[in-house]
DNA sequence: TTTATTATTGACAGACGAGTCAATCAACGG
DNA sequence: CCGTTGATTGACTCGTCTGTCAATAATAAA
């Protein structure tokens, strides 16, 4: 009855989707949403123009999808660090090392940070802006409060401190992808933003 | 001979140019270069489509112009602080207070920072990238080295520390314009990135 | 080998936006 | 009040990009 069995079709579908998403991640990160053409993405993915629309409804849908991936993957990373049996200071240190290391080695995380940046500066509908208000910040904010209680961290608004921490990381990710030969700084600099003097 | 005298024409010319540039600054900051339409800019400026091209050669030219303004104005600010007869630590503190204050109060500086961000993530020709490698960083890097010699600042690569400092500021400017009700943090957080523990 | 089903292609339509240009308006010197 | 000059306008052109669609290729079951 069926020419290819369902399982095989699923596998092809997943592969192609992944192929297109991976190419789109790099293109969007480099050029931003508006400047990225479908032709750029399909060329990078090595598929035809029509196939893009076979797997995705629109350019927007792909961007949303990548943005969601960016949020969830970074949330998982934070959760992992947060569940370690270590002090708040050490949690922050591990977070900084982990993220900066990922960006330094040009893993996908570097591109994901750029996607988030583009989403931020995109004049997007509220739907997208809502995605950027991820739970990471709340988890991290809690870590900061804990660190303030143990006396490891400086006084001040935990949310503001959290935002500044991630602002620095996003800025560094931007530099990394924009400037060739940019070397990521010592993660300890970020730790010291929060540490008590 | 001349219907309007030269002086008056010059004045009108300057006014219109300024009007268009000011509108373009906000539009570019909010939407980025590619997503900004001429119709957005002229609507914000309250002039006609044709007049835009009477005063500027292209959309690109306006963006370049704004980017150059962003660089020169920030360079002047840094130079001003650098010439004060104060310690390196205090120079950094003044810089942080000055910049964060400007962004907080939604002066043009906030929008200029966004322009620089867009230039960074724009996949622009080398010509533009070159503009973003401004002398600010060298001046600030010198301040950091001085502070390391006096023992006020932590050890480490001065350039990396400088980049991280400005990365944080650019990230914060991004948050400020993207998120309503975002309040800028205490500038002292930025100072502590550099200060010796 | 045939057939059914789905992946895959590229030509096409429709929309939209940058930049042009001929026409109009405004203002001042004469 | 007239004429000249330059500011100002908006309709138009032309290229490009997104999304559609009918046709083709591939593959595994029958």
pLDDT score for A109: 93
Cα–Cα nearest to A156, from A104, A117, A195: A195
Residue of A nearest to B182 (CA): A160
- DSSP alpha helices (H): ranges in A121-153? 126-132, 136-149
| Contact B190/A at CB under 8 A | yes
Contact list in A for residue B197 (CB cut-off 8 A) is: 192, 195, 197
Inspect the interface and report whether the beta carbons of A189 and B31 lie closer than 8 Å: no
pTM across the whole model? 0.94
| Contact A41/B at CB under 8 A | no
pLDDT score for A1: 45
| Contact B160/A at CB under 8 A | yes
- Write the CB contacts of A133 (distance below 8 Å, at least 6 apart in sequence): B179
pLDDT score for B2: 53
Mutate to test the interface with B, among A165, A185, A190 (most CBs of B within 10 A): A185
CA distance B5 to B11: 10
Show pLDDT as tens, one digit a residue, over chain A (197 residues): 456 777 778 888 899 999 999 999 999 999 999 999 999 999 999 999 999 999 999 999 999 999 999 999 999 999 999 999 999 999 999 999 999 999 999 899 999 999 999 999 998 777 777 777 788 899 999 999 999 999 999 999 999 999 999 999 999 999 999 987 899 999 999 998 999 87
Give the residues of chain B that fall short of pLDDT 50: 1
In angstroms, the CA of B15 and the C1' of C30 are apart by: 28
Measure CB to CB from residue A171 to each of B30, B160, B171 and give the nearest one: B171
Q: How far is CA B140 from CA A2, B127, B158, B160, B194, in A?
A: 68, 23, 9, 11, 12
> What is the per-residue burial (b if ≥16 Cβ within 10 Å, else e) of A82-92?
beeeeebbebb
Inspect the interface and report whether the beta carbons of A120 and B34 lie closer than 8 Å: no
| Contact B183/A at CB under 8 A | yes
Tens-place pLDDT, residues A52-70: 999 999 999 999 999 999 9
- Taking the stretch 52-71 of protein chain A, residues with Cβ within 7 Å of any atom in nucleic acid chain D are 53-54, 57-60
In angstroms, the CA of B76 and the C1' of C27 are apart by: 40
DSSP-assigned beta bridge partners for residue B195: B153
Encoding tokens for residue B86? 């104060």
């Amino acid at each position: 009855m069926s020419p290819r069995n369902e399982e095989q079709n699923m596998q092809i579908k997943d592969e192609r989707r992944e192929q297109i998403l991976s190419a789109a991640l790099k293109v969007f990160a480099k050029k931003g949403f508006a400047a990225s053409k479908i032709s750029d993405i399909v060329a990078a993915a090595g598929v035809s123009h029509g196939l893009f629309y076979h797997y995705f409804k629109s350019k927007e849908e792909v961007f949303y999808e990548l943005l969601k991936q960016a949020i969830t993957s970074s949330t998982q990373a934070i959760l992992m660090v947060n569940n370690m049996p270590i002090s708040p200071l050490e949690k922050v240190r591990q977070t900084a090392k982990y993220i900066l290391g990922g960006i330094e080695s040009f893993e996908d995380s570097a591109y994901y940070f750029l996607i988030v940046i583009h989403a931020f500066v995109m004049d997007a509908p509220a739907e997208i802006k809502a995605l950027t208000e991820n739970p990471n910040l709340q988890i991290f904010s809690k870590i900061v409060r804990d660190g303030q209680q143990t006396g490891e961290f400086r006084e001040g608004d935990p949310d503001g401190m959290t935002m500044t921490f991630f602002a620095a990381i996003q800025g560094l990710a931007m530099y990394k992808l924009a400037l060739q030969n940019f070397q990521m700084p010592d993660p300890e600099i970020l730790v010291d933003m929060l540490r008590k003097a």
